[in-house]
Copies of this chain bind each other. A is one copy, B any other.
Amino acid sequence: MPSSRKSPALGCLAGHVGFHLRLAQLAVFERFESRLGEIDVSPAIFSVLEVLHQNDGITQSTLAATVSLDRSSVVPLLDKLAKRGLVERRASTTDRRHNHLHLTDAGRELLAEATRRASEHEKEVCKPFTIAEKKLLLDLLGRFRKPRT
């Protein structure tokens, strides 16, 4: 039975995935910040570092597409990371329009620590799910993505 102090009715919002996606992301990102804020790693920064680690020498536009950002949005992000000595931009020798991106040693070290913390975070945030449920959730979320391109 509902608690005596009833909360306001949500109407059709209760059945809207967008509404629930926002609340879920809010809760998850908040806890991410509380664990990785200490080492100045935001969700966006973490995803960039990880993609760089997985794809050494990747180009800025490809990175942007991979994390679903505009290529212009990636510039100030990389500026910050370069200033912190975590990332290097090397002009391509074959096509001088491209920058190839590389993690520095410091970048790899920070990523290692960030990965440890992110993994704890993930464990905490997914406590309400069984392994099968989490797998299912990721599968369902993946279906929102645009079909092709």
Whether the Cβ atoms of B18 and A43 lie closer than 8 Å is yes
Q: Is the CB of A54 within 8 A of B24?
A: no
Interface SS of chain A: helix, strand, loop or mixed? helix
A138 engages B17 (CB within 8 Å): yes
Number of interface residues of A (CB under 8 A): 55
Asked if A134 lies at the interface with its beta carbon under 8 angstroms from chain B, I say yes
Q: How many copies does the complex hold?
A: 2
Question: Is A104's beta carbon under 8 Å from chain B?
Answer: no
| Contact yes or no, A54 B17, CB < 8 A | no
Interface 1/0 per residue, A2-34 and B, CB below 8 Å: 000001111111011111111111111100100
Task: Please report A residues at the B interface, Cβ cutoff 8 Å.
Answer: 7-13, 15-29, 32, 43, 47, 50-51, 53-55, 58, 62-63, 66, 68, 115, 118-119, 122, 125-126, 128-129, 133-134, 136-138, 140-146
